[in-house]
Structure 1
Amino acid sequence: MIAGLKLETRSKGISVKFWARISRYLLWLTLFILPWQMRKVIVPVFHQGAFVEYAAISLYATDLLIMALLIIWLPGVLAKKRFCWGPRAISWPLVALVVWMWLSLIWVHQLGLSLLVGSWTAGHFTLFVLFYLYLINNVRTIRDILWPLGWGVACQGLIALGQYFSNHSLGLKWLDESVLDPNQSGIPVVIVDGVRRLRGHGLLPHANLLGGFLATSLALLVPWLYAVKRQWPHYLMWLLFTIGVLGLVVSLSRSAWAVFLLSMGGLALWALWARPKKLRAAILPGLIVTAVTLALVISQYSVIVPRFDLSEPVEQISLSDRLRQWGEFKEVYRKHPVVGVGIGQYVPYLKYLDQSTLGWSYREDVDGWVYNPGRDGRYYEPVHNIYLLAIAELGIVGGALLALILIGALVVVGGLVRKRRALVGVAALLSWLSLLVLGLIDHYPWTLQQGRLLVFLVLGMMAVLSVHSGYNKKRGGRKKRQFALS
């Protein structure tokens, strides 16, 4: 009998280790393909023949991987009856925001908008909140986040470099690479002497999203450059970092360049003040990365300079679009200030407003009759500001909950900076601030799957560090375990 019990216990132990290993591999794969837009469009939406991205329903490969992780994790949670919510300053407002998203479906139905899109969007945010909780309860070493993220950064950098120098997409249709033709309207380009030069996209749907992903991820990778002690992995991580920086350059995203330079400057100043030995150790590889990057910048000087000339036609169109979107936001907010139009409904509501004025109508502002033929579907875009977008969709209540999450995250990461894992804390702080700044001038952290997942990854990393540093005081009622940086 005793032998049988021992055999059963051993069998259970092997099973637990097996599923733990499977979960670890799935997590690595999830983080590696985080920026990929590999998906199945379940419900496509077209308007006047143009595909409307922000009203369509898609299932991504990373969604399926996260679902698999949660399914494997669930029996362990039920069996052990132990669960950690993480830092309350982040987790409680996050849960409240998701609940409010689901409640917003009530007025989505009342307005006659897309209940299916709203439910899918709320479900997406719910899935990523569960992924955030999974990270808190399962990540034991920061290596499990940063190694696959580093490889993912390098992969996107290489693909972006290939797209930029070939001036077209690379034919990676099996990876759902966007079809990138610089002569096609709507494709992000820079015009140099009348020639349209394609910006690097990687496997992401837009060059700005590639830039934001790389700028945020590269800041997170900096502590790993110091943590890896063995010689060849240390050099390998610097190589991956360098490729990511080069990919960031060819994304030609000014906002991403700005937040990356500020992040690197902040990390260098902190190291100079708190860890001068660490800074000295990074001088040689840092100079090599800088030299390689400057060589690329100088060789592409004629392409980079127009990005700062706001009189260029491409930049004028961009500015005009931003002004138009500001006017659209004010109209949406004026009509629904308290509860908004519902999660995922900003673009459907713009279409609704347009359709309500199709044909001839009298306008008091011009004192006459005007004809509205409707707009091409490509011109229906969310306002390029996640804070305004959240208020438009979820009202003042949703905006307040989002503000609580942002402030709570800053409080938590501020506590990390004061703890012994200060370099990781500073990197997490700068990555989070980068996302907040990028959210002022773009919408992808709220609207696009890869942008949302990036936000929750940074939140999850901050929460993991908080729980294991002791800043959160308790972890599911159990004694804090040692957390490994490497």
Structure 2
Amino acid sequence: MVNLEKFLIVLFLLFLPSQLAFHFWPAWSLVNGIRVDYLSPTIYLTDLIILSLFLASRLRVRIPIFIIIFSILNILVSSSPLVSLYKWLRVLEYLWLFKYLTQKHLALSPWPLALSVIWTSALAWWQFFLQGSVGGLWYWLGERPLSVSTPLIAKVTLTIHNSLPTLVMRPYATFPHPNALAGFLLVGSVILYSFYTSPLRPSPIIGEGFRGRGMGLLAVLIALLTIPITFSRTVIVLEMLILLIWLRPLLLKVFLLISSIYFLISTSGSVASIPDRLDLIRKSLFLIQKSPILGVGLGSFIPATMNYELITNNYLYQPVHNIYLLLASELGLPAAMVIGYWLLVHGKKMLRTMNYELITAVAVIVITGAADHYWLTLHQNILLLIILIAYAYSYRWGSQR
């Protein structure tokens, strides 16, 4: 790999959590006059880095004809064809990145990924203590203006011992939502832990020896300490389960179990979010019934629900919080089943590697994907997902190093 590509990969991993971007707001990105981030064509800093990699590597990818045909049909039947066209262009970008990571067999250094996890966690703690955004240089990494009084900001009510309930802002770091931050940190920490448990020698993946492993372990510890303050219950429960399985001393496991139970019962989130999520599930089932073969168009879940809004009169401008229902809604049942079959086949191969870190990382995505949509809708999380799948596909971590 040429030095320029190595440099660009380091930049890509360092700025992986950043949401620094330029948003465009054409008419089709507005719903009832309201700007919807999920529909906005966006150029991220990481897009520019990927474009630079594309030009530097000269790697070109052939798109299978069946994907081309299906994408055209999906765009033609879409509730918002221009939104779907933009989303399919995104898919091309992600497919190219996947092929690049698998075919080039890059030496993925752990230290830039570790640094990105560290600075993201540090910003989350800073926001948590300030109960608002930090500003300054963090703005240029994608931090948005935040405060506990900001409308629609994610908050929890925290009760400690006999104290009065306190309204607390959940930290975002540079992510659109604390849940996405939590998922990124947990999967990122499991990936880094796989580096820490690898042999102390250069390898096609590591190439850094002790230095990369040491920083990776530090990032893992910081990430695991940061996840609880995101108050993302699904991710917190998964983190506790992982630690309970991997930690050996029985006393430590008991302490961890008791403290985690106390932490979960001492916090309460928005009760209104449960009916909202159920309503989004009903909408997704309605859309699947309406367009079972080709779906309502990639990325067009929100525009497609506008007719359904007249029935429910509940204006929720976000996708369903379930990646499986989201895929079936936007791509149709046949495409969702094909994707599921592909994942099942490669999942069985992954299980045979007996690489528990890799299996754990994938399991986290499978489980959190049933409770949220960010692995398919948010740029930072999608990029981390591609990194995980690419290296799982290419190297079968652990068993084939």
Deviations 1:176-203 (CA, angstroms, capped at 9, x unpaired): 2122121223211112345321112111
Deviations 1:270-305 (CA, angstroms, capped at 9, x unpaired): xx8xxxxxxxxxx9xxx8xx9xx97xx97x999754
Partner SS state of residue 191, structure 1: strand
Matched, 1:169 2:140: no
Partner residue in 2 for 1:5: none
Change (3 A) 1:189 1:382: same
Matched, 1:412 2:354: no
Partner residue in 2 for 1:350: 305
Amino acid across the alignment from 2:292? P
Structural mapping, 1:307-386, within 5 Å: 307=267, 312=268, 314-354=269-309, 357=310, 379-386=316-323
Partner residue in 2 for 1:253: 232
Higher helix share: 1
| Counterpart pick for 2:24 among 42, 55, 73 | 42
Partner residue in 1 for 2:203: none
Offset at residue 254 of structure 1 (A)? 1.1
Matched, 1:208 2:192: no
Confirm or deny: 8 A CA contact 1:329 1:383 kept in the other structure: yes
Q: Count how many residue pairs are aligned between Structure 1 and Structure 2.
A: 381
Change (3 A) 1:302 1:185: farther
- What TM-score comes out, normalization by structure 1 length? 0.71
Matched, 1:118 2:84: yes
Confirm or deny: 8 A CA contact 1:102 1:122 kept in the other structure: no
Unmatched runs of 5 consecutive residues or more in structure 1 = 1-16, 86-90, 273-282, 358-362, 364-371, 418-424, 471-482
Offset at residue 239 of structure 1 (A)? 2.1
Amino acid across the alignment from 1:148? P
Partner SS state of residue 169, structure 1: coil
Confirm or deny: 8 A CA contact 2:157 2:167 kept in the other structure: yes
Matched, 1:240 2:219: yes
Partner SS state of residue 24, structure 2: strand
Amino acid across the alignment from 1:204? F
Aligned mates of 1:404, 1:28 — CA distance in 2: 34
Amino acid across the alignment from 1:334? Q
Offset at residue 66 of structure 1 (A)? 1.2
Deviations 1:383-435 (CA, angstroms, capped at 9, x unpaired): 10000010000111121122023213312322332xxxxxxx32111101110
Matched, 1:155 2:119: yes
Partner SS state of residue 223, structure 2: helix
Offset at residue 226 of structure 1 (A)? 3.1
Partner residue in 2 for 1:278: none
Partner SS state of residue 339, structure 1: coil
Q: Which moved more, 1:340-349 or 1:399-408?
A: 399-408
Confirm or deny: 8 A CA contact 1:347 1:380 kept in the other structure: yes
Aligned mates of 1:343, 1:233 — CA distance in 2: 39
Aligned mates of 1:331, 1:148 — CA distance in 2: 44
Partner SS state of residue 245, structure 1: helix
Partner residue in 1 for 2:42: 58
Q: Work out the percentage of aligned pairs sharing the same amino acid.
A: 23
Partner residue in 2 for 1:280: none
Aligned mates of 2:262, 2:167 — CA distance in 1: 12
Confirm or deny: 8 A CA contact 1:338 1:395 kept in the other structure: yes
Change (3 A) 1:211 1:330: same
Partner SS state of residue 241, structure 1: helix
Change (3 A) 1:234 1:34: closer
Partner residue in 1 for 2:191: 220
Offset at residue 469 of structure 1 (A)? 6.8
Change (3 A) 1:96 1:414: farther
Partner SS state of residue 184, structure 1: coil
Considering only aligned residues, what root-mean-square deviation do their CA atoms show, in Å? 3.2
Partner SS state of residue 42, structure 2: strand
| Counterpart pick for 2:73 among 97, 103, 121 | 103
Offset at residue 166 of structure 1 (A)? 0.9
Partner residue in 1 for 2:161: none
| Counterpart pick for 1:459 among 368, 389, 401 | 389
Change (3 A) 1:397 1:415: same
Aligned mates of 2:112, 2:374 — CA distance in 1: 22
Unmatched runs of 5 consecutive residues or more in structure 2 = 159-163, 201-208
Aligned mates of 1:180, 1:301 — CA distance in 2: 29
Offset at residue 102 of structure 1 (A)? 4.1
Partner SS state of residue 134, structure 2: coil
Confirm or deny: 8 A CA contact 2:293 2:333 kept in the other structure: yes
Amino acid across the alignment from 2:196? L
Confirm or deny: 8 A CA contact 1:161 1:247 kept in the other structure: yes
Q: Which moved more, 1:65-74 or 1:49-58?
A: 49-58
Aligned mates of 2:306, 2:165 — CA distance in 1: 34
Change (3 A) 1:464 1:126: same
Change (3 A) 1:330 1:236: closer
Change (3 A) 1:267 1:154: same
Change (3 A) 1:336 1:196: same
Aligned mates of 2:35, 2:262 — CA distance in 1: 34
Change (3 A) 1:163 1:96: farther
Change (3 A) 1:232 1:60: closer
